[in-house]
Amino acid sequence: MSVGMNGPRKPLVVERIESVRQQVTQARRAGQTIGFVPTMGALHAGHAALIRAARQECGYVVVSIFVNPTQFGPHEDYARYPRTLEADQQLCGEEGTDLIFAPSVEEMYPPPYRTYVEVTELDQVLCGASRPSHFRGVCTVVLKLFQIVQPDVAYFGEKDYQQARIIRQMIHDLNLPVQLRTLPTVREPDGLAYSSRNRYLTAAQRQVAPRIYQALLELRARVQQGEREAARLESDLHQALSAIPEARVDYAKIVDADSLQPLEQIDRPALAAVAVFLGTTRLIDNIRLN
């Protein structure tokens, strides 16, 4: 355990793949199960909840901190994505992390790098439609991290619902010996989903950002009251999001919660998923409708 009578212990931080494997091998020899939380850093309360769950359920907890270049498009925010390793180490220590893996790009993608992983169909909708190579990058780095850490259980948040669904499919299709645990979205008191990108918001944008979740809650209430026509609900959701000051709607969709395909009628488990730009900051959120 990393949390004892004297408070949090400083996690071991390593940059090399071989170092991770040595530490995990020792933990496994000691009979410990390996819990893994893959992150891009800039950690917040959502990540803390994942680490806490791993700490409660596993004997040895690994957190990776790696801003993965292959999941960013050419005009996205890779260069300015927040990198806060010192603060991240503090949070990891407070939540009982044993090992932080913080590799360089060269360590993860030694040249010449030529191998990528794709989960078809699920990656063509929602975020995949507007970020065409995003999930190829996500699947590639997650599979590499699974191969490096060899976790028993991996922890993902439901805010990134499509990502978790795609990773679950990859685990199934490639027979990976990893159990996937997804945890509910963690929100600020006013309802805004925690995101590393929230720090990009201006004060005015941050004030109106909770209206994204409010629009999703209102949509779910209508479904619970008996509304079933997806097109009408989508249209109204898009309108509500567009009314937020400075907002530009990337997508506002109602989809099958498993296949992520569009629905005409809400007659099965359904998800409302949205991506909204507030200024230049892209925020995503979702809610189960039934």
- Whether 47 is a known active-site residue: answer yes
Q: How far is CA 96 from CA 26, 36, 99, 149, 195, in A?
A: 18, 12, 9, 17, 21
Q: How far apart are CA 275 and CA 24, in angstroms?
A: 37
**Phi and psi, residue 41, nearest 5°:** 80, -160
Q: Which of 47, 75, 134, 172 is catalytic?
A: 47
For residues 170 and 20, is the Cβ–Cβ distance under 8 A?
no
DSSP per-residue string spanning 228-256 = -BHHHHHHHHHHHHHTSTTEEEEEEEEEE
Q: Are 278 and 246 in contact (CB under 8 A)?
A: yes
What is the three-state SS of 109-130?
Answer: CCCCCCCCCCCCCCCCCCHHHH
Give 27's contacts (C-beta < 8 A, 6+ positions apart): 34, 59, 60, 98
Q: Which amino acid is at 40?
A: M
SS3 52: helix
- Give the whole-angstrom CA distance, residue 124 versus residue 255: 13
- CB 273, CB 219: distance < 8 Å: no
Residue with tokens 């005015």: 204
A 10 A CB-CB count for 268 gives: 11
Q: Are 208 and 244 in contact (CB under 8 A)?
A: yes
Catalytic residue numbers, as ranges: 47
